[in-house]
Amino acid sequence: MTEKTLDEVKAERRHDYDVYPGGTIQQKLDEIAELREKCPVSFSEKGGFWVATTYDDISSILRRNNRGFVSFPNIPDGKVAFGQKQQIPIELDGDVHRKYRKLLDPLFSPARVQEMEKQIRDVANGLIDGFVATGKCDVVPQFAFPFPGTVFLSIMGWPLEDAERMNDWVNIFLHGVPGGTEEETMQARIKASEESRAYIQAIVDDRRANPGDDITSVIVNQGLEGEPISDSDLSDLFVLLLMAGLDTVQSVIGQSIAYLATHPEQWEAMFATPDALAPAIEELLRWTSPAMPTRNVAAASAQVADLELPEGERVFCPLAAANRDPKYYPDPDTVDFTRESKPHLSFSLGAHRCVGVHLARLELRIAFEELHRRIPSFRLQEGCTPKEHLGLTWAIEDVRIEFEPRSA
Give residues in contact with ligand HEM (CB under 6 A). Answer: 71, 74, 89-90, 101, 108, 240-241, 244-245, 248-249, 252, 290-291, 293, 319, 346-348, 352, 354-356, 359-360
The residue type at 147 = F
Distance CA 328, CA 331 (A): 10
**How near is the Cβ of 351 to ligand HEM at its closest, in Å?**
6
**Nearer to ligand HEM among residue 44 and residue 294 (C-beta):** 294
Residue 122 sits at the vertex; the CA angle it makes with 118 and 123, to the nearest 5 degrees, is 120
From the number of C-beta atoms within 10 Å of its C-beta (0-12, 13-18, 19+), residue 357 rates as middle
Of residues 29 and 188, the one with the C-beta less far from ligand HEM? 29
Least distance between ligand HEM and beta carbon 352 (Å): 4
Contacts with 3 (C-beta within 8 Å, 6 or more apart), sequence order: none
Closer residue to ligand HEM in complex, CB, 293/332: 293
Q: CB of residue 293 vs ligand HEM: minimum separation in angstroms?
A: 3
Q: How far is the CB of 183 from ligand HEM (least distance, A)?
A: 31
DSSP helix/strand/coil, 389: strand
How far is it, in rounded angstroms, from Cα 241 to Cα 362? 16
Give the nearest residue (CB) to ligand HEM.
356
CA 47 to chain centre: 22
When the beta carbons of 137 and 243 are compared against ligand HEM, the nearer one is 243
| Between 172 and 285, CB nearer to ligand HEM | 285
Shortest separation between residue 98's beta carbon and ligand HEM, angstroms: 9
Which C-beta is closer to ligand HEM: that of 62 or that of 188? 62
To the nearest 10°, report the CA torsion of 97, 98, 100, 105.
130
- Three-state SS string over 213-251 comes to CCHHHHHHHHCECCECCCHHHHHHHHHHHHHHHHHHHHH
Query: Minimum CB separation from ligand HEM for residue 221, in Å?
Result: 19
